[in-house]
Structure 1
Amino acid sequence: MRAAYLIFLTIVMVIAAGLHWASFSYFKAEEIETAAARLTLYRSTLENQLRHFAHLPFLLSLDPVVTAALSGQPPEVLDHRLARFSASAGIDAIYVMDNDGLTISASNTATAQSFKGQNYAYRPYFQEAMQGRLGEFYGIGATTGIPGYFYAMAVPGSGGTTTGVVAIKVDLSRLQDDWLASGERILLANADGVVLLASDPAWRYKTISPLTSVQRDRMVASRQFGTEALEPLNWAVALRDQTAIVGDERFLYLSTANLPNGWSLHFFAPDDQARTRAWLTTGAFLAFVLLSVSVLQLSRLRRVRTALQSSEREEAALRSANARLAVEIEERRMAEQTLQKTQAELERAGRLAALGQLASSVTHELGQPIAAMRNQLAASEMTVGPTPLNDKMQGLVARMENITQQLKFFSRKGRDSLELFDLVDVMQDALEMLQPSIESREAIVDFQPPQHEVSLVANKLRIEQVVTNIVRNALDAVEDSVAKQVTITAGSAADQVWFKVADTGHGLGDKTLEDLREPFATTKESGQGMGLGLTISAGIVSDHNGTISAYDNPDGGAVFDIRLPRNLTEEP
C-alpha cells in the first residue's frame, strides 16, 4: 500500500514539474512579446526626440543675424535672438562659434554658466561641422556639467568658405524622467557601450562592454563624459533564453541596435508575472489532484470519525474531571496558606499577650528595688561624694530602669477613647520629648511640617507612642554613623494620613520588617534596648487598621512608612 502511494506521488510530481515548465515557457513568451512592443515604442520616441531638432542648425546657419555677428557686428542682437529661439523651441542652449571654436554669441549669455567666450574646438561636433557635415555628439557639458545631445552646422560664407559654426544642445533628461516614471527598466548605450540614459540612475555612465585604451583616450580628449569613472555595469546576459541578471535582479531581456550613431536600446522586463502565473497553473493542477484524493478519502474518514467521536467524549469527560481536581487542589492550597497565616498570627498574639503579663509583673516587682537602689546611691553620693564605683552603679541602675521602662511601655495599652487631633502636633510633642536623645547623639532631625492640617480620629497617646518609637529607633541607627541625620515627612490624602522617617544609619541589612516586629528582635548592643519598640508600634498601627512598611534607602539608611486611616466620619 505504501509503495503504491509513493508511485502515485512520484507520477503527480513529474506531471506537475512538466506542467510548470510548459506554462512558464508560454507565459514567458507572452511577456517577451509585450516587452518587444514596449521596446519598439521607446525606440520610436527616442528617434523622434533626436531628429526633432536636427534641421534647426541648418536653418540658423542661413540666418542673416548669425552671418552679421560672425562678420564682426556686435553680438548683443544675436544674443537676444538666440535666447528667444531657445526658450520658444524648448532647447537647452544655442550658440555660435567662429572658425577657431571660440563662442561669440550664446542663448545663455545672461546666465552664470554662459557659453560665451568658451572654446569648443576640441568637441567632435565642431570638427565635423567644419568638415561640412552635420555634427552630432552626446556628452556632458564642459561648462554646465549637464549632459545633452549636440547638433552643429557650419555657417557658409562667400566663395564657398566657412565663417563659423552654429550649434544647439538638446536636453534628453526629460526622456529619462519619463522612463523612470513608467516604472520600467530601460537603458540607452552608445556605440562604445557607455550607458547614456537609464531609468535607474545607478546604471548611468556604466559600460555594458569593456572599453579599449583607444576608446578611453578618445573620450578623454573630447571630454565627452567629464570626470565619470566609466566602470563596468554588473550584469550578465543569456541570449539563448532572453534573460539578464543585473546586480541581484533577474529580468527578461530585449535589445535593439537600429538607432542613429550606432546606439542601442536595452529593455529589462521582470519575469515575476510569468513565474506567478506558472505557479498558479501548477497549483491549480495540484489542487485538483488533492481534491480528487480528498473525495476518495472522505468515505474512509467518515468511518474513522465515528470511532474518534467516542474517544473524544471519553477524553472530554477526563479533562473535566482533571479541571475539577485542579480547582480543588488550588482551593486546598489557598486554605492551607490561610491556615498557616492564621496560626502564625495566633502564635504572635499569644506571645504578645504572655509578654504583656510578664512585662507588667516584672515592672511591678522591679520598680521599687530599683528606686531604692537609686535613692541609696544618691544618699551615698551626698555623704561620701562621687566615686568610680558609685558612677558605675549609677550606670547599671540607669540601664535597669531603661529596660523596665520599655517593659512598662509595652504592657501599657493606653486609653481606648478616640479623639480628633493634628498629626503634626503629635510629632512635635514627640520630638520635644526626644530632644535629650537628639542632643546626646548630636543628630540632626529635619522635620518640615506640611502647610495644611494633617488631622485624623484615633487614640492620640498611642499614636504618639508610635512616633516616639520610630524616631527613637532612627536616632539609635545613626548613633555610630558619620552623617547623623533623621528626615521626617508627613502628609495626607482623601482617606488617610502618613508619615515617613528616614535615617542615614546602617539600614535593614538582611532583616525584613517581619523579623524586626518579633519581640526582642533588635540590632542594638546588649543593654541598649530590648527590641520591643517596633513590636509595640506595629501592634498600635494594626489596632488602628493602618499599615507599616520599611525598606532600605538607595542613598543609605532605612525608611519607615506609616499610613493610618483618617476616620473623620467617626465620632471622637
Structure 2
Amino acid sequence: MPPAVAAPNPGASISAARFHWPRFAVWTALLGLSLLVVALAGQWAADRAARNQADEIRRAAEVQLSGLRDATGRYRHLPFTAALHPVVLALLNAPGQAALGQSANRYLEELNRLAGSDVLYLIDARGVTLAASNWAAPHSFVGHNYANRPYFTEALAGRSGRFYGVGQTTGEPGLFMSAPVRGDGDQVLGVVTVKVSLRQLQDSWRLAKDPILLTDTRGIVFLSSVPQWLYHATRPVDAEGLAQVRRDQQYGPRASFPQLPWKVTPDGDRPGMLVRTQIDGQARHFLAVSEPVEDLPWMLTVMADHDQVLRTRESAWMVALLCLSLLLLAGLYWRLRERRFAEQRDARRELELRVKERTQALGEANAFRKAMEDALPVGMRARDVEGRITYVNPAFCRMTGFEAGELLGRLPPYPYWHPDEVTRHWHHYEAMMSGQPSQSGHESRLRHKDGHDVITMVYTSPLIDAEGRHAGWMSSVVDVTEQRRAELLQRQNEAQLQHAQRLASLGEMASTLAHELNQPLMALSSFASAAKAFAQRGDGALLAQSLDDTIAQAQRSAEIVRRIRGFVRQRTAGAEDCAVATLVAQALALLRGELREGQVVPEVRIPDDLPLLRGDRVLLEQVLLNLVSNSLHAMRGVPPAERRLEIDAERREGGIQLRVADRGTGIDPAIADQVFAPFFTTRAGGLGLGLNICRTIVEAHRGRLTFAGREGGGTVFTLELPIAPP
C-alpha cells in the first residue's frame, strides 16, 4: 500500500504557486502575442483588399467616365454644325415664312437621324422654337418657349450651353447641349439645341452587380442603376438651390429631394467612403469612390460590395489561426517527446538507483519512492477495493485543484468528477471494480476546483500487496488538456448553450404560466362567487350565465397553457384573422370587474374600416389584458374623477397602431430602461414578467411595443402590428 500522506504544508503550496507563476506569465504573453498577430494579419489583409477594391472601383469609374464622355461628346459638335446652315440663318431672319420653317424642319430631322440624337431644334431670341427634328411627332417642340432653360440663356449670351434635366414638353430626362446662331455682325440671332438621352447608359448600369450613380453640383442623383435612388440627394439641398431647380424646372414639378437612406462613414486613411444602406429590403455595405466628370459639373460615384473586404479579413484570421495552431501542435509534440525522453531517463535512473540501493532500509526506500512520485508530472491516484481514495500525489492535486486532505478517504462520486460526465465516470468506475479496466487507458474529463476543465488520459492497473493479494487499484493520470483543448472547448460551448436554452425555456414557460394564468384564475374565482350568490337567490338565468362564463374562463386557461407552451417552443400557434375591435372588447369584458372597482370608464375609439390582424388571438388578447391591467393599477393613486383610460387605433403604413393611454402616476425616467426587463416590477407581489411577455409576444408577431410619458401625467403604450395579407 502507498504510504500515508502527510498534512499539506502551506509553505510548500506557496512555493508551488511561485514556481508556476512564470509559466503562467509566459503562456499569457504568448496568448496575447498570438491574438495580436491574428488581429494584425486580419487588418493587413483587410487594408490590402480595401485598397485593391478601391483601385478596381477607380478603374471601373474610368471605364464609366469614358462611356459617359463618348455618349455626350459625339453630339457636342451637332449644334455648331446646324447653326452654320443657310436655312437656319434664313429662318431666324424671316421667322414668319412657312416654307423656310418646313425646310428647316426637314433639315433638322435628317441631320438628327444621321447623328442618332434624340431631338435637334432651333430657338429664336425670344425662346420660341421655330423648327425641330420632331416637328411631325405628337409632342413636337415647335412653338414651345424654353426661355427659362439655362442652356438657352447660356447660348443666347454667346456661349455653348450644357444642361441635364427633365423635358418640359415630353417629361423625358436628357442632356441638352446648345450653341448660338450668329448673324453677319456676330449678333446672336437664336440657339440650336440637341437633346441626348442617357437612358441606354443607365440601362447598362443596371446590369452591373454594384450601384453606379451620377449627381449634380447640389448632390441630387439624376442617373442611377438603383431606381429608388433617383432624384434623392446625397446631402441636404439649401433653399437657394431648391429655388433654382424649380425656376429652371430641371427635374420637372418636384419640389423636394429627400436624402438618400445612406449611413456614410470615412474609411480611415483609405480612399473612398463606407456606405451602409438598404436595397430591395436587404442591408448592403459598400465602398464608394467618387470621381468628377471632365467638362461637366457632375460627380460619378461607383460602389463595390465591402463585405468582400470583411470576408478577406476573416479568411486571413482563419489562416493565421491555422498557422498558429500548427505551430502550437508542433510545440506540443516537441514537448511531449521531450517529456517522454525525460520519463525514460528517469525510469532508467530509478532502476539503477533501486539496484544500487536495494540493501538500504525500508524507510529510505519509501522516502525515495515518495520523492520520485511527487516529482513526476503524471498524476498518481490509489484506491482500495471499496473505491476509497488512499493516495494522491502532488501532480494529481495540481490537476484537480484539491488538496490531498480533501480527497483521501472519499468514495465516489469524487469532487473532481465533471458534472456533465458523471455517467461515464460511473461506467469506468464500475468496469474497474469488476476487474475489467481498459488496458489501453481511457480519456476522462475532470472539473478543476476553480471551475475549469482538465482533459486526462487515465491508465489503471490492480495493486498487489507483498503477499500477492489484490489490495486496490493504481491509476496514472496524464494531463492532455493542451492536445484536446480545441475540440473540447467546442463541445463544451455546444453543451452549455443547449443546457442554457433548455433552462431558459423551462423558466420562461413556468414564469409565463404563473403570470398569464393569474387573470383567468381571478376571473374564475369572481364568476364562481357570483354563481354562488345567484344560486342562493334562486336566479337561474344569471346562475347559468355565470357558469357559462366560468366554463369559458376554464377553457381560456387551457388555451393559454397550450398557446404559451407552443410559444416557448418557438412554434407558431393558431394564426388567424383578428379584428382589433373584438380583441379590445374581449379584453375589457374580462376586466369589467376591475374597471367597475376602479371607477374607470374606458374611452374606445376604433374605426369600423380598420383591416384585420393576422396572429394568435389568445396571445394578442393577453397583451391587451396586461396593458389595460397595468393602466388600472397605475391609476389607483389618482382621484377617481381624474382617472381616464383611452384606447384608440388607426392604420399606419404597413400595419395598425393601437394605443393604450392612462392618466396614472407615469413611469419614472430612472427606471425606463428596465421596464421590459424580466422579473423587474414596481408592483407589490408582482412577478415582473407582464411587459416582458407582452413584448416577446408582439415581436413574435413581427410587431413592436413601445411606451412614452404623457403631458399632464400618465403613460401611453403603443402597439404596432402588421395587417393580415389580403
Give the alignment's TM-score, normalised by structure 2: 0.40
Question: Which protein has the larger Cα radius of gyration, Structure 1 or Structure 2?
Answer: 1
For normalisation by structure 1, the TM-score amounts to 0.50
Higher relative contact order (CA 8 A, sep 6+): 1
